[in-house]
Structure 1
């Protein structure tokens, strides 16, 4: 007998790979019970920007939308444990515009 298809509530953060894999609906939080969102930050030492100016510039302009990061995580998840690189490469092939944004200068060679 097939399993009954009934709605299920789960607590997930966003972005999360499950949003790219399953049909999920975010519920409203009008009272702000879950609090404000978090952010991802990068850190470097003070001399790093001067020594690696190209990397520093890239990091300042790096941005992925929630949908992009979620789909990247989904690609890594579907590649399987220990196959992160393969998941990232597959995702980059599907999103060449992101690579152009992230790496505006082609590597030599």
Structure 2
């Protein structure tokens, strides 16, 4: 995960690192897919999340054109969804108040 953190420009919290490694590359339900650790840079570069959503990382998508976003620096960040065509924090919709609860509730 060091290359992802270097690309992002900040260290991720330990709980987020653990979640990304443990939960990556799987579907949480019939639509939401979490990216594998080795996909994170490519997906975020493609959607230009670093430019349009600074401080946030796309960790997956809903298979319908929307990205799942978190601030990986926080120990248990809120989870948001945003349309790939409007990748700005002001367009975020809250999915859950905490990543851990969101992951374990699925």
TM-score normalized by the length of structure 2? 0.24
Over alpha carbons, which structure has the higher Rg? 1
Structure 1 or 2: more strand by fraction:
2
TM-score normalized by the length of structure 1? 0.23
Structure 1 or 2: more helix by fraction:
1
